[in-house]
Structure 1
Amino acid sequence: MLEASNRQIAALALSMLDLTDLTDTCTPEAIEDLCNRARTAFGNTAAICIWPRFVAQARAVLGLNSAVKIATVVNFPSGDLPVDAVLEEVRQAVADGADEIDLVIPYRAFMTGDEQAVRVMVSAVRHACPRPVILKTILETGELKDRGLIRSASHIAIQEGADFIKTSTGKVAVNATLEAADIMLTCIRESGRKVGFKPAGGVRTVADARLYLTLAATIHSPDWPMASTFRFGASGLLADILAVLEDRDAVAGATAY
């Protein structure tokens, strides 16, 4: 990754991008625009990531067999909903056409020592996601803070069937960090399973993307990062990707996610 050109990194990041709109003011018009922006002259983003209430609309816009997947969030952003309520969110999202479920683990309960709450939630949602629906688990690492907690949460999520482990909701003060990424990527390697990694929140430039991709390639292998094992959760990153691919200067999106 260190030797790759900016254009190469940009093209790779585009193919791994979960183009996101989880703003509280999101509208149907914004979702239509998001779907359109996910399909660029240089290729498609891996997915869009949106509120559950917009999944059916996005499916209608993108079509049934779209190369752009539809990801949605559940137990989001608090992580505090009861399991039954989360399962209802999952079932409705899948019925509406979601390809991927991004689940916030009950991280506050976990921080008080309740590991079982995480196991029960992740396992229940995994069983509610029929294959090939992908389950990503959001650990909210900026709130967990402690390396041991991040490590433990990563291993629990993997053991209970997560397809990806994801850093953050993008709704707290500290979101994706290279330190958290290092811990999570190492846990994936230790698990021996094919599990993906998704940094989310604060990845705004191709230079940022390079740092995460280089870390993943170092911990795993140079050919490990691909859309099936690595995603960026971002709203502003696409602007900088396109600027690089179009050989122009641009200020990357200043959005929080």
Structure 2
Amino acid sequence: MSELNLREAALLALTLLDLTNLKEDCTEADVKALCKRARTPFGDVAAICIWPRFVAAAAATLGDGSPIRIATVVNFPSGEEPLADVLAQTERAIADGADEIDLVMPYKALMAGDEAACETVVKAVRGVCPDPVKLKVIIESGELKDKALIRRASEIAIAEGADFIKTSTGKVAVNATLEAADTMLHAIRDSGRKVGFKAAGGISTVNDAVFYLDLADTIRGPDWAIPSTFRFGASSLLDNILAVLAGGHQSTGKGY
């Protein structure tokens, strides 16, 4: 990333973006507007991320064959819903047209020392996500705080079949951080598996995004960050991406 200018970084970030609306007061009209925003003059975002109740409306709005994936959230945001409810919600969302399931791991159980609870939930949801549906496991790194716990949550998610590990719900005080990303990316590398990484919450500018892309390049290698391996979960990042692309701002070097 360090040799790219800001416009090139913005174009890359656009392709990696899960454009998100998980506001409590979100409406079907808001989701239709989100679908429209996801298609830009510079290209499409990777996915939209919405509440399960809006998946069918999003699928109808985007239409058959859309390259924009539909991601939705389950066990969200607490990570403490009954497993039967989580599985039913997951199956319904997939039937409605969801391409990707963002599952909150029961991170509070992990903090209490109950690794088995985390293993059970991830494994069960993985089991109802048929190929090519992708499973992204949210570990809520800002609540785990401890590096060892973040590492362990990442390892459990990977071992139980996650396609991506994701930092955060965006609903807690501390969301994505570079420190957590470093731990999670090393866990992915050390696993030897093809698992992606999603940074979510608090990333609102292309400058912010560049730090994460540089980190991924350092740990996973140049050009690792593509839509099948790397995502940003954000609601406001698109505005800054479009501003950079429309203005053609140029800058070089890390941390531009």
TM-score, L = length of structure 2: 0.96
| Distance of 2:106 and 2:130 partners within structure 1 | 22
SS of the residue 1:101 aligns to: strand
Structure 1 letter corresponding to 2:243: A
Q: Write out per-residue CA displacement over residues 213-236 of structure 1, whole angstroms, 9 at most, x where no aligned residue.
A: 000000011110100000000000
Higher relative contact order (CA 8 A, sep 6+): 2
The residue aligned with 2:30 is 30
| Distance of 1:77 and 1:12 partners within structure 2 | 28
Please list every run of 5 or more consecutive structure 1 residues that lacks an aligned counterpart in the other structure.
250-257
Deviation at 1:248, TM superposition (A): 6.7
Deviation at 1:93, TM superposition (A): 0.2
The residue aligned with 1:47 is 47
The residue aligned with 1:205 is 205
The residue aligned with 1:186 is 186
Percent identity, aligned pairs only, is 65
The residue aligned with 1:144 is 144
TM-score, L = length of structure 1: 0.96
8 Å contact kept, 2:7–2:248: no
Deviation at 1:86, TM superposition (A): 0.4
SS of the residue 1:20 aligns to: strand
Matches within 5 A, 1:47-126: 47-126=47-126
Q: Write out per-residue CA displacement over residues 141-188 of structure 1, whole angstroms, 9 at most, x where no aligned residue.
A: 000000000000000100000000000000000000000000000000
SS of the residue 1:162 aligns to: coil
The residue aligned with 2:161 is 161
Q: Write out per-residue CA displacement over residues 124-146 of structure 1, whole angstroms, 9 at most, x where no aligned residue.
A: 00010010000000000000000
Structure 2 letter corresponding to 1:61: T
The residue aligned with 1:252 is none
The residue aligned with 1:253 is none
8 Å contact kept, 2:18–2:234: yes
Matches within 5 A, 1:121-136: 121-136=121-136
| Distance of 1:102 and 1:151 partners within structure 2 | 19
Deviation at 1:30, TM superposition (A): 0.5
Q: Write out per-residue CA displacement over residues 2-45 of structure 1, whole angstroms, 9 at most, x where no aligned residue.
A: 11000110000000000000000101111010000000010000
SS of the residue 1:246 aligns to: helix
Aligned residue pair count: 249
RMSD value over aligned CA atoms? 0.8
Moved over 4 A (4+): none
The residue aligned with 1:243 is 243
